[in-house]
Each structure stands twice: as structure tokens, then as C-alpha cells.
Chain A
Amino acid sequence: EPEVTQTPSHQVTQMGQEVILRCVPISNHLYFYWYRQILGQKVEFLVSFYNNEISEKSEIFDDQFSVERPDGSNFTLKIRSTKLEDSAMYFCASSEGQRSYNEQFFGPGTRLTVL
């Protein structure tokens, strides 16, 4: 069964460093998303992406964040200068379409720890 994959599974970084989280969406999917979940809190939407453009972003997704689809398979989330409060689980998701009946399939997540 096709699945979304994410690397690394765990990333530890120093405050102020740049990190890039990588995702490989399901191959025939066209819509991509990043969510995050701070430990013990709810899953929060960060950004949606289609046709090499951001469709929607949340207030969390400030200038420190960027997304890119550098090739035909990868979808990346970059945090330019990490803060302690960026420590969270980051989930990538993809869907075939953008209708509500198009299920979003989630990757296993990358746990980011900022020291």
C-alpha cells in the first residue's frame, strides 16, 4: 500500500540553526500539507501546497518557515532559525485532490527537538 514517508524520524538541533524536514508524498497525489503537534497538544495546520505554490498557511507559518518541492518526489519544510518553541512532531500529509472527501494520508512524522 502506498504511504507517505518522512526523514529523519528524529532531528536534534541547536537554537538558531536551520533544519530541513523531508517528506515523500504518495506518488499520484497533488496536494501536500504540513502539520505540527507540540507534545501533549493538538495537531495544528501549518501550510498547504499545490502546483508549486502555497495554497494556504496558518499564523504559525511565519517568515522563518518555507516549503519547497525541489524535485518530482520530495516535499520539504525548512525552518531558518529554530526556536525552542519549534520543538514538536511535524507531520507531512498528501491527498489526491482538495475536496473534503479526498483523504489526507499522513506520514509517520519527524520529531524535532531544539536545544
Chain B
Amino acid sequence: RKEVEQDPGPFNVPEGATVAFNCTYSNSASQSFFWYRQDCRKEPKLLMSVYSSGNEDGRFTAQLNRASQYISLLIRDSKLSDSATYLCVVTISGGYNKLIFGAGTRLAVHP
């Protein structure tokens, strides 16, 4: 079973749409959770951390359900510039902070 699983997409949405990405992780010792963004052939960049209480950053909302081992990312009012691959990332307790990446979900926002 993959450590971090994501729907690969692509999600093709019009500008202004709301889109949601899901992610599940298999290791119950997973400690910290993040969403990264990766543009084509570029490095991953941290979008936001994900906290148990849920957190919001502008148009982006992240949720964590530890019992179900499930993480989500909601993007409201999609912009053309949101087109990218969104990576679900976890760290494991005692794991020297190595990042464990999902394969990513591709988002394409069209006019």
C-alpha cells in the first residue's frame, strides 16, 4: 500500500470554480502534514501546513482527519495561476523530518 495516496487527476476546472483534493496516508505514526505545489519541471514549494483543527489561507482551506488518515485541500475561486500539481506530504514521528510525498494531483484551470 502506498504511504501517501492521491487522485492523480487531472482536474480541469473553469476560472472561479471550487475544487477539492483528497489524500490518504497509511502510516498511523504520521506526525505532520502539508500541501506543496509543484509547477511543471520546477521544485516543490510549500503551500500550507495542515493542522488538526483545519486551517485557511486566503482561498485555500486544508483539513485533517487523523482517525480516517485523510487530508483535504479546498481551493475556492480558482485562478489560472493555480494550475499546477498539488502534492500531499507527510512526515513520520522520529523520522528526522524526511518528507514523504504523494504522487500529486494535477489541476488545470481554464478561462
Which residues of A line the B interface, CB within 8 A?
31, 33, 35, 41-45, 48, 55-56, 58, 89, 91, 95, 98-104, 106-109, 111
Task: Contact check, A41 vs B103: say whether CB atoms are below 8 A apart.
Answer: yes
Complex-state Cα separation, A33 to B97, whole angstroms: 10
Nearest neighbor of B3 in chain A, beta-carbon distance: A42
Complex: A106 Cα to B41 Cα, angstroms:
13
Known contacts A41-B103, A42-B103, A100-B91; is A106 also within 8 Å of B97 by CB?
A: no
B101 to chain A, nearest CB (A): 4
Apart from A95-B97, A98-B97, A111-B41, list 14 A-B contacts with CB within 8 A.
A41-B103, A42-B104, A43-B101, A44-B101, A45-B100, A55-B96, A56-B95, A98-B96, A100-B31, A100-B32, A104-B46, A106-B44, A107-B43, A109-B43
A-B contact pairs, 24 of them (CB 8 A): A33-B99, A35-B99, A41-B103, A42-B102, A42-B104, A43-B44, A43-B87, A43-B99, A45-B98, A45-B99, A45-B100, A48-B97, A48-B98, A55-B96, A56-B96, A58-B98, A89-B41, A95-B97, A99-B97, A103-B46, A104-B99, A106-B45, A109-B42, A109-B43
**Interface presence of B61 (CB below 8 A):** no
